[in-house]
């Protein structure tokens, strides 16, 4: 019988500064997207379920795309100044997962990571003194919430509870 291999990923817990300007918020988000890319890439390389590997590879590429979009936005907001990326500043996400993890287990980990990102941005927005920085963090939180909703839909499909419409509203043909 094959021994279950576990991988550990660590995250440096840090508080976001209170006096963040919009460009600084974008910089933080760029590092967070790289961290999320690394997280999903490592997850796709750790689990052995081919379908799960494919889904997490897709999510890693989405995070890579998000980083590129944020860097474009930084370039625009800064008046043409490129973001200087320092790989040493990328947070490592802490988790322990077996290579035999189920899709549900992996999705729960991903949901937790997205929810923490959302909460972190919302805390930063609520404490921000700069209005543009506050708006930027709120926008970033909204993006993380979208990621969470996508992952939740995946989990609901696996669990058999996926609905295309809300059950507490009537259908358009019933009105």
Which positions ≥6 away from 137 have C-beta within 8 Å?
A: 16, 20, 25, 121, 122, 124, 125, 128
Q: Report if residue 52 sits inside a domain.
A: yes
Residue-wise pLDDT tens digits, 52-87: 788 889 889 988 988 998 899 899 889 999 999 999
Neighbours of 148 (CB within 10 A): 18
Q: Report if residue 54 sits inside a domain.
A: yes
Q: What's 41's domain CATH number?
A: 1.20.1260.10
Helix, strand, or coil (residue 6): strand
Indicate the Cα dihedral angle 47, 35, 150, 20, nearest 10°: 160
Domain containing 138 equals 6-159
Q: Report if residue 144 sits inside a domain.
A: yes
Given a cut of 70, whether residue 118 has pLDDT beyond it is yes
Q: Report if residue 173 sits inside a domain.
A: no
Q: Report if residue 63 sits inside a domain.
A: yes
Candidates 60, 113, 174; CA nearest to 52 is 60
Number of domains in the chain: 1
Mean pLDDT confidence for 10-33:
70
Q: Report if residue 85 sits inside a domain.
A: yes
């Amino acid at each position: 019988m094959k021994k279950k291999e576990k991988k550990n990923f660590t995250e440096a817990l840090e508080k976001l500064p209170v006096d963040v300007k919009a460009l600084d918020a974008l910089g933080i988000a760029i590092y967070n997207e790289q961290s999320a890319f690394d997280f999903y890439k490592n997850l796709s390389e750790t689990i052995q379920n081919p379908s799960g590997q494919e889904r997490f590879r897709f999510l890693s590429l989405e995070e890579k795309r998000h980083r590129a979009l944020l860097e474009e936005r930084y370039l625009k907001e800064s008046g043409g100044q490129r973001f200087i990326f320092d790989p040493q500043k990328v947070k490592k996400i802490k988790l322990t997962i077996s290579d035999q993890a189920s899709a549900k287990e992996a999705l729960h980990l991903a949901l937790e990571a997205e929810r923490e990102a959302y909460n972190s941005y919302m805390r930063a927005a609520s404490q921000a003194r700069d209005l543009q920085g506050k708006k930027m963090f709120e926008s970033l939180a909204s993006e993380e919430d979208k990621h969470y909703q996508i992952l939740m839909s995946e989990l609901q499909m696996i669990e058999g509870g996926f609905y295309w419409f809300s059950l507490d509203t009537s259908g358009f043909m019933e009105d």
